[in-house]
Structure 1
Amino acid sequence: MNEAVPKAAAVLAAAADTVTPCPPVRDLFADGDVDAAYEVQRLNVERVLAAGHRLVGRKIGLTSPAVQRQLGVDQPDFGALFSHMALDDGGTVPTGTLLQPKVEAEIALILGAGLTSPDCTTADVRAATAFLAPALEIVDSRISGWDITIVDTVADNASSGLFVLADTRVTVDDVEPAEVGMRLRRGTELVSAGSGRDCLGDPLNAAAWLASTLVRRGESLRAGDIVLTGALGPMVPAEPGDVFTATISGLGPVRISFALGGNAS
């Protein structure tokens, strides 16, 4: 193993545990060494599992051109979702939980069957998907000031934070994911908008990319997994007291509040 991998994993783990941002980790690696970054992510996934948390699915990041432009990257990535990251629809993000949160709206898939092919297709994803649900992902970065490259965000579990799934469940026979429209509001102000086609052309395309990529890395999506397919519009910074509501056509609304009192920074 590259000796920089456990060092970077320890830096990011300490930042998460202390809710204190750290410097970028990219300088520990050769330029663009995404494979090493995924090794960092893997070590910290193992650490979280060893602490007793349960893997409940995966998130896909950097699927929206707008978000790619925001972060200066040009390819998607993925991270792990754990049981303790889930919040109830209409719930509240507690003070001090996150470092520098941003909110984005997306479609979640709940899989009824696993996806184990290294050449997964959109048709395979469609057949394996039991339900769709509107979701909010509250992304976060352990790296100070969101000063990240693709290596930093991959190492940092794809800048995962928390997520919210609405109770709504529909099937892919009821809604075509590529055709949905999304509106995200902070209070009554429209702060982000987009469509299913803003997620790699189709959220099912994003899920097929994820499934294939995982298999090639020796893992796979399982029946029952949640897949956050990626942002449908630009992510929006969150401040204490903010209330965000996303509405995705055909799927419905999903909402989260941020407690007053401040997030760690």
Structure 2
Amino acid sequence: MSGKALLKTKEDKDATKVQVFTVQDGKEYILLREESSQSFAVDQKENSPFHNKCQELFCCPFWNFFILKKKEHIEEPQLKGIVTKLYSRQGFHLQLQADGTIDSTKEEDNNYAIFNLIPVGLRVVAIQGVQTKLYLAMNNEGYLYTSEHFTPECKFKESVFENYYVTYSSMIYRQQQSGRAWYLGFNKEGQIMKGNHVKKTKPAAHFIPKPLKVAMYREPSLHDLTELSRSGSGTPTKSRSASAMLNGGKTLSQHGST
């Protein structure tokens, strides 16, 4: 519209009151103020079976597509971690074999000694074997085991010690009286030790990450230990030392820190 508009009100058979805008070109533009028979007809049209069918055929698929695209966007990898080797000060690389066995190796070119270090909190990481996709975990007795599911027992606090050595301790278990943390560690023979036998001041607990590349990860879905225990796949105990549990059935070192 151009020119100055004049406003006036008049009665109309299709509306109780309408507002008419008149501009300098002589044209009138009508603005309905109350419900008219025309708007009622539009409402009837929108509520008709034909309109509902069109809504179902054309609008709903678009809405579903929008929801799917939104979910896909949410599931985009958003955590920046590293693909790395974990070299112990004792002279061994941490290794997670295909059967779930946790041990060590001195081989430099060993695919089972490569891990995803996924940040799951402030200075908290999940340690996942690249080849097996199993998570490293520590149970309430200090035993290390592997888990297909990410649980609270799979969370390790990553701390930088003297001379840039790194330690990994359980986020949920520690000595009850002293409060001393339980650590991932090897003895001098390269055997995995119980977490409550490893001291952070000893070489057994000291690791040097050897990053291979930076990677983006999706946040792991956290599973409750109680639910997994009820389903028969929960935290392993000494009596359940089969493959992929309690270091794949291998004997754990019971000696003190070295």
TM-score with structure 2 length normalisation? Answer: 0.21
Higher Cα radius of gyration: 2
More strand by share: 2
TM-score with structure 1 length normalisation? Answer: 0.21
More helix by share: 1
